[in-house]
């Protein structure tokens, strides 16, 4: 009895030291991460952690901004511009942990968070960007810039900060500020809905095949993959094809059944255009018209004029001129390609007319007939993990960086790999995640993103945590994941973005983002190395025998490298022109997006056998960060084609002196100086469109 009482007393005495954890202490997004390299503790983070963390982070950010406003000292570069640039660290941490997951591994709970937080973040940004007291301090620093003795990066940060506030509406009268807030919040909600509809519509469609005869022409690998998908859908004994690119593209390439080719392609290009709950026509119409209204409020004729002011192109006229020049070379080639395909149809079938869903099928036939090249011959040499290792080895030869796989580190999905990246001197450079396979919670396409961007704190480098994401088919049976050459290009492309992020070394976070039409240079240049024999020898090894891809097969690939460039260029430029036509409107005059799209394509005489790479209702690039900017891939191709010629001219595609200059001026400096000047410092001259045209085989 006495012993029991004693234990009870001890327990009561201990109670004060066992206080329940506060909400902040229980939320992993609001605590210090003790994970390796302080990566997000993915296994601990639950969907219901996000909203409290977002709200807490926005609250802290507001306090930091208020402290800048209330500072009694005269506004100066350090106490205003730098202080603002460094504010919002917790918000950066939370958004960095949320948005990459929402894109690559979402679910209904995370999507609900996105819907709720999107307008809140928009309001939060507007509260800062439209704050008159904060803007007054920034304006004081701007007006005193001539006497401030600022370095070039400091000048760039000041100019960027001042222009951002002007472009955010800080100088508008109060009634127009409120109008701008309303537009921004509405655009934010519409953008979220557009993306959710696209993901749902993409996931909803499956082409189910019950008759084995309808699989005629398809390689065994694709048949096995379709059987696996059907099995997962509880349709054992059938075959299923989805609207994920690794599924529908091979079906269009190989399936002999033309009606089924039409069915799956029509499902693809009719996404969010079916007058159902996922329809995006009215959403896009409202987005385009609201963007015109916002541009007018901010003093611009069009949304494109607003966007392009900060890009290398500077204005819509320059972009249209550039796109039209490429179009003039590409469209005649595409017409010739269509004639060649129609000749095969006439020879083999007699009474059919080439349609958009036939293009891949007859392109594959011509490739075999003209170049004796079958994609199935190359696939065994393109094992995904070999390709990944090959691009790592290429980076080692160019920049001296190395990669070590990390197995004991948090991941947001079991399929993901993670690597520590070391600089050429052996020091830590960053962490890199790779996530290559499709799943229901992942949006389509491929991209590179960051859980944490590189920055400096109190003079100490905070290293980045980067992720590369794709949608490449998994292996089947005892075969590993085998890529097409297009997919190899996609992997190298995203790796270029990742290297850009890893090498980022700017003194202020606000200088880390380069213009949209410059950002594709680091990614697209990586694609130029793929067909070089020395690089192929690094990764193009047969998955069973280890044999390096035969020289004879490489020669076939090279011979066919510029085949179908008319189609590839035209479908891309068509989408770029569609983007520019929407965003160059000077009045909110879109009443029917389908009519607008048709009239735009008719204007440029797009042939009916080719559709724009992205039609209006699923053109997610222009809902995200590429509005009036989809042209950027082609614009950057001027730069990357010219930049790769700098390596070729030395006779050494791994020339480390050229690579060092490329790292110094292109990959590490961000927006510390004018991008055109940085490129000239690297190359010694301006790029030209001729390099792009040579790269695509349009000129010698």
Q: Which of 434, 430, 418 is nearest to 469 (CA)?
A: 434
Out of 494, 532, 581, 597, which one is annotated catalytic?
A: 494
Strand spans (E) along 68-119: none
Q: With contact defined as beta carbons under 8 Å apart, do 671 and 161 qualify?
A: no
- For the chain, which domains are there? 29-171 (1.20.1050.40), 205-269 (no CATH)
**pLDDT score, position 86:** 97
Tens-place pLDDT, residues 251-295: 999 999 999 999 999 999 999 999 999 999 999 999 999 999 999
Rounded Cα gap, residues 505 and 119, in angstroms = 32
**pLDDT score, position 14:** 42
Tens-place pLDDT, residues 551-605: 999 999 888 989 999 999 999 999 999 999 999 999 999 899 999 999 999 999 9
**pLDDT score, position 1:** 42
For residue 332, how far is the Cα from the chain centroid?
A: 30
What average pLDDT does this structure show over 332-355? 92
Give the 3-state DSSP-derived string for 288-327, with helices as H, strands as E and coil as C: HHHHHHHHHHCCCCCHHHHHHCCCCCCCHHHHHHHHHHHH
| Strand-pair partners of 241 | 207
Q: CB within 8 A of 108, min separation 6: which ones?
A: none
- Using alpha carbons only, give the angle 46, 47, 50 rounded to the nearest 5 degrees: 100
- Using alpha carbons only, give the angle 317, 614, 573 rounded to the nearest 5 degrees: 40
Q: Which residues of 177-201 are buried (b: 16+ CB within 10 A; e: fewer)?
A: bebbbebbbbbbebbbbbbbbbbeb
Give the 3-state DSSP-derived string for 643-674, with helices as H, strands as E and coil as C: HHHHHHCCCCCCCHHHHHHHHHHHHCCCCCCC
5 has a pLDDT exceeding 60: no
476 has a pLDDT exceeding 90: no
**pLDDT score, position 467:** 98
Q: Which of 340, 333, 252, 332 is nearest to 562 (CA)?
A: 333
* Number of H-type helices and E-type strands within the chain: 28, 9
Query: pLDDT class for 24, splitting at 50, 70, 90?
Result: low
What Å distances lie between residue 498 and 188, 313, 316, 394, 421, CA to CA? 27, 24, 29, 14, 11
Rounded Cα gap, residues 322 and 330, in angstroms = 13
Rounded Cα gap, residues 405 and 5, in angstroms = 56
Query: pLDDT class for 374, splitting at 50, 70, 90?
Result: confident
* Mean pLDDT estimate for the chain: 94
494 is known as an active-site residue: yes
Q: With contact defined as beta carbons under 8 Å apart, do 456 and 91 qualify?
A: no
């Amino acid at each position: 009895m006495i012993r029991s009482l004693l234990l009870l007393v001890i327990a009561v005495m201990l109670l004060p030291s066992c206080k329940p954890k506060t909400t902040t202490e229980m939320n992993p997004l609001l605590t210090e991460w003790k994970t390796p390299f302080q990566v997000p503790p993915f296994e601990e983070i639950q969907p219901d952690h996000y909203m409290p963390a977002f709200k807490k982070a926005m609250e802290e950010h507001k306090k930091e901004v208020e402290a800048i406003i209330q500072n009694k000292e005269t506004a100066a570069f350090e106490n205003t511009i730098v202080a603002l640039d460094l504010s919002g660290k917790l918000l950066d941490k939370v958004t960095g942990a949320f948005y990459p997951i929402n894109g690559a591994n979402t679910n209904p709970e995370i999507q609900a968070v996105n819907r709720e937080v999107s307008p809140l973040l928009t309001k939060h940004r507007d509260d800062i960007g439209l704050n008159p007291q904060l803007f007054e301090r920034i304006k004081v620093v701007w007006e005193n810039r001539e006497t401030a003795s600022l370095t070039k990066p400091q000048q760039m940060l000041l100019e960027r900060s001042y222009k951002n506030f002007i472009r955010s509406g800080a100088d508008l009268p109060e009634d127009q500020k409120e109008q701008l807030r309303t537009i921004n919040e509405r655009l934010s909600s519409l953008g979220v809905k557009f993306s959710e509809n696209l993901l749902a519509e993409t996931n909803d469609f499956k082409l189910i095949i019950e008759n084995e005869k309808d699989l005629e022409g398809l390689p065994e690998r694709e048949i096995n993959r379709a059987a696996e998908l059907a099995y997962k859908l509880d349709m054992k004994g059938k075959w299923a094809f989805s609207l994920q690119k690794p599924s529908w593209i091979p079906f269009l390439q190989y399936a002999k059944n033309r009606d089924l080719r039409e069915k799956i392609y029509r499902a693809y290009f009719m996404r969010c255009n079916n007058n159902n709950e996922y329809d995006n026509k009215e959403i896009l119409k409202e987005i385009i018209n609201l963007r015109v209204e916002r541009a007018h409020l901010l003093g611009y004729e069009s949304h494109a004029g607003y966007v392009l002011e900060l890009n290398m192109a500077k204005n819509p006229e320059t972009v249209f001129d550039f796109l039209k020049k490429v179009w003039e070379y590409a469209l005649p080639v595409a017409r010739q390609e269509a004639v060649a395909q129609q000749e095969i149809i006439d020879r083999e079938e007699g009474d059919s007319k080439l349609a958009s869903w036939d293009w891949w099928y007859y392109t594959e036939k011509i490739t075999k007939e003209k170049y004796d090249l079958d994609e199935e011959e190359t696939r065994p040499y393109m094992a995904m993990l070999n390709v990944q290792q090959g691009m790592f080895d290429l980076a080692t030869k160019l920049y001296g960086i190395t990669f070590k796989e990390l197995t004991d580190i948090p991941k947001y999905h079991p399929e993901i790999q993670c690597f520590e990246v070391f600089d050429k001197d052996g020091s830590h450079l960053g962490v890199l995640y790779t996530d290559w396979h499709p799943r229901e919670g992942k949006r389509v396409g491929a991209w590179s993103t960051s859980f944490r961007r590189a920055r400096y704190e109190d003079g100490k480098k905070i290293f980045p945590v980067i992720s590369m994401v794709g949608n490449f088919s998994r292996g089947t049976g005892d075969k590993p994941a085998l890529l097409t050459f297009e997919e190899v290009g996609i992997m190298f492309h995203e790796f270029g973005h990742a290297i850009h992020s890893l090498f980022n070394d700017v003194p202020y976070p606000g200088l880390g983002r380069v213009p949209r039409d410059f950002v594709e240079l680091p990614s697209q240049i990586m694609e130029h190395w793929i067909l070089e024999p020395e690089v192929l020898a690094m990764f193009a090894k047969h998955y069973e025998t280890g044999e390096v891809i035969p020289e004879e097969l490489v020669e076939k690939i090279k011979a066919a490298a510029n085949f179908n460039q008319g189609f590839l260029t035209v479908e891309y430029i068509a989408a770029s022109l569609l983007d520019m036509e929407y965003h160059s409107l000077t009045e909110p005059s879109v009443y029917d997006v389908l009519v607008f799209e048709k009239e735009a394509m008719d204007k440029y005489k797009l042939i009916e056998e080719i559709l724009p790479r992205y039609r209006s209702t699923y053109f997610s690039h222009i809902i995200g960060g590429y509005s009036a900017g989809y042209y950027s891939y082609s614009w950057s191709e001027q730069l990357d084609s010219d930049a790769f010629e700098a390596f070729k001219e030395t006779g050494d595609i791994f020339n480390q002196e050229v690579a060092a200059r490329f790292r110094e001026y292109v990959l590490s400096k961000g927006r510390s100086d004018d991008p055109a000047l940085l490129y000239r410092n690297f190359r010694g001259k301006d790029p030209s469109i001729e390099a792009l045209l040579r790269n695509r085989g349009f000129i010698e």
